[in-house]
């Protein structure tokens, strides 16, 4: 299960939230779209079918010119381990595109959507995948529409296990956007976030997070929660000792923020983390954590400020 923030297209003056879920009875899957403030359901967007296993969902800026964002789902085909990114309109489910990546020798781990990194006028999708033979991992970037023009960006190495990837605005000031990958070091369990340019010279930068005693779940990039001019990486993790889940926030070029952001307790299973725009108008971006209640499968997105007073708010989804 994954959650994404969708720019408002239902004229509610608030962003929408989209949650990727699987029907436990027949294996079909869809993204349910709801208003982030009222919780009102807006659309169910179905993808592919029970012959595929969904991995993750991402938001794509409007491709077909109708003023609505698109949704992209990365999925694994059960019959042969091929993996595909399918793109559909978030408002009416219209199919936009299908693209296959790499091959059955790789295992897909994550999806990131990029603005035009190589200057050819096309939006791009990057798929994080790990080699089934040697454990190395990379992000393969392809145009979402038009000629695919694939390129491969390698990260860290087989001494790490990749978890997820995220788009990063130009942090190193070279006019090229970056892709960040969260990975766990196999020897000691520490978490690392490595950023590399999405085009041209890689120029890697690596930041380490707490790790020990936690299970890494995902990565979200914030637009500057502490107002120092630098985006932050928020690592979503679950504490082994009590199953509490939280986000550790650290500047991509600098120190971590003083306090982690805690979310739901052990009565819930953590599913995903996103950035939500400043819904309480206090100048601080919010983080939204998706949890599934263990007792009945109900899904909730809990939103809290990434820094300072947390100001929690919950939005409920169908089980």
Q: What is the pLDDT of residue 184?
A: 95
Q: How many residues make up the chain in this entry?
A: 319
Flag whether the pTM goes above 0.85: yes
What residues form DSSP beta bridges with 8? none
In the chain, % helix, strand, coil (3-state, to 5) comes to 0, 55, 45
CA distance 145 to 48: 18
First to last CA, the chain: 11
What residues form DSSP beta bridges with 52? 77
Widest Cα–Cα separation across the chain: 50
Q: What is the pLDDT of residue 319?
A: 60
CA distance 121 to 112: 17
Q: What is the pLDDT of residue 247?
A: 93
**Is 230 in contact with 253 (CB distance < 8 Å)?**
yes
Residues 105, 56, 110, 125: is their CA dihedral positive or negative?
positive
| pLDDT block averages, 10 residues each, the chain of length 319 | 80 82 91 86 93 95 91 95 94 92 93 86 93 96 83 94 92 84 94 90 84 89 83 92 92 76 93 81 85 91 83 79
Q: What is the pLDDT of residue 5?
A: 87
CA distance 62 to 303: 26
Q: What is the pLDDT of residue 311?
A: 76
């Amino acid at each position: 299960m994954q959650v994404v923030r969708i720019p408002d297209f239902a004229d509610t003056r608030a962003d929408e939230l989209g949650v990727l879920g699987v029907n436990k009875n027949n294996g079909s899957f869809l993204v349910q779209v709801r208003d982030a403030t009222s919780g009102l359901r807006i659309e169910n967007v179905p993808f592919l079918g029970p012959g595929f296993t969904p991995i993750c969902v991402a938001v794509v800026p409007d491709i077909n010119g109708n003023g609505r964002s698109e949704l992209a789902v990365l999925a694994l085909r059960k019959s042969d381990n091929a993996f595909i990114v399918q793109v559909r309109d978030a408002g009416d489910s219209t199919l936009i595109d299908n693209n296959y990546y790499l091959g059955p020798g790789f295992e897909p781990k994550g999806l990131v959507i990029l603005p035009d990194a190589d200057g050819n006028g096309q939006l791009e999708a990057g798929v994080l995948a790990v080699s089934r033979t040697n454990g190395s991992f990379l992000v393969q970037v392809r145009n979402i529409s038009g000629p695919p023009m694939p390129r491969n960006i390698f990260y860290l190495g087989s001494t790490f296990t990749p978890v997820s990837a995220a788009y990063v605005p130009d942090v190193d000031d070279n006019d090229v956007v970056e892709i960040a990958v969260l990975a766990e070091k196999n020897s000691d369990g520490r978490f690392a976030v490595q950023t590399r340019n999405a085009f041209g010279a890689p120029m890697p930068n690596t930041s380490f997070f707490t790790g020990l005693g936690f299970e890494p779940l995902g990565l979200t990039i914030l637009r500057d929660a502490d107002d120092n001019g630098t985006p932050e990486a928020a690592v979503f993790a679950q504490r082994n000792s009590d199953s509490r889940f939280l986000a550790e926030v650290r500047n991509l070029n600098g120190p971590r923020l003083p306090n982690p952001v805690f979310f739901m307790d052990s009565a819930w299973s953590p599913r995903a983390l996103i950035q939500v725009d400043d819904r309480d108008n206090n100048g601080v971006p919010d983080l939204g954590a998706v949890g599934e209640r263990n007792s009945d499968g109900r899904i909730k997105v809990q939103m809290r400020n990434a820094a300072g007073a947390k100001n929690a708010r919950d939005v409920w989804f169908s089980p």
